[in-house]
Structure 1
């Protein structure tokens, strides 16, 4: 499925030094325009934590919730700053999705798409040239790449993964990192909730996850939408989890989606400790 191309025209004006009038430059087509598009790019490039859409439109978007609100919330501004810090020669680190930042976002997504096509994970028919939108085709191609390299298949191309794609050739690698399946570990925990290894692993997981992730887990667990909730303890999530409770299932699903291979490895080493 073709990535959705969302474009707008930005007219740049400058002061005419001869007569003081405003002179319009040629318009530049900008695919990176709406807040929801910018957020999906930030998620896809690994700068903003995703939230899975329970009913995604996979013909047009990657399976992350769409948010078209202004880009002024703390999590989005911090994600923009993280992106800007990767390009200190080009961008000012201010948390604003200004024209320069959006232009570099375009270039970054196009470069990613080109490398995915170079290595055979997508075709020009799936991702036409110069369509810098992180949509379902890019998401799917990234997952194919991740599978070939034994990486977590989440469709998010972090800077480390984009660096791997810069290599002239890739060698397929088996899945090397153990993966957490929280729903399976819950049954183990229920049988022995006082196991110190289980408690240590959950406490370690709580310490290693970003606050914005824990905030979302907390809100999903409680069915709330607080900006700064009192974070739920993951040990309590395991103690009180009820599979018949939709809020609990949503919280666990989101928690599962945020666990990186490195965090997973540390967690399981503690969980399985005798």
Structure 2
């Protein structure tokens, strides 16, 4: 799905690699014209076309030694796919208006929200390029399927926005965090980041409480515990298991806080975790 945080994953790969001291460059393939596409990827030399009054390196050269992330690679035109395949196989780029190869060395990471296998079957994506880029695949599920990531993302966003706004990093209360964890986030990480930024901007204090959570999220019935109709026919054991799982996610795995929020003792929580196979 769109907005699941694929670029965050790509940046994390770069930051944890031996190339972390070098550049991380992200480029979105969606909505690019073919002529602009080639220029952006491979660059040009002076006089290559009208208005090219100086040499310009493309993103492959700019990211040399580091990591290049191409987002929405499924939107790349077929003619550009052939040129990209050559660069990935040789490491050499040719600027527009020039014949000489220029050697590059980048870690290449790509992402898409499309089914590349289906595109290959329909002749919309080169099969040889698909096999070339499919060395290691990471599936980034929608945020509603990995609610345990929400507290981490919220705290990351609060730290980032606090630096951007040059203010003290606010804390967030447990009820507010629980409401964020319970929401389904149809816009995924992108929507979550925007909501956290709005909450941080709209408060003048240093604590974010349930009052700062936007109305559309506070009034959402996405969480089963707030929707009577959605509870019909669901076994109590399943409801209890889900309540424990989501509360653990909200507290970042803190079992003492989880037991307090659920109103049960820690020994009871440990027994339930073992019973339901929750780790």
Q: Same fold by TM (over 0.5)?
A: no
* TM value normalised by structure 1: 0.22
* TM value normalised by structure 2: 0.21
Structure number with higher helix proportion: 2
For the pair shown, the structure with the greater C-alpha radius of gyration is 2
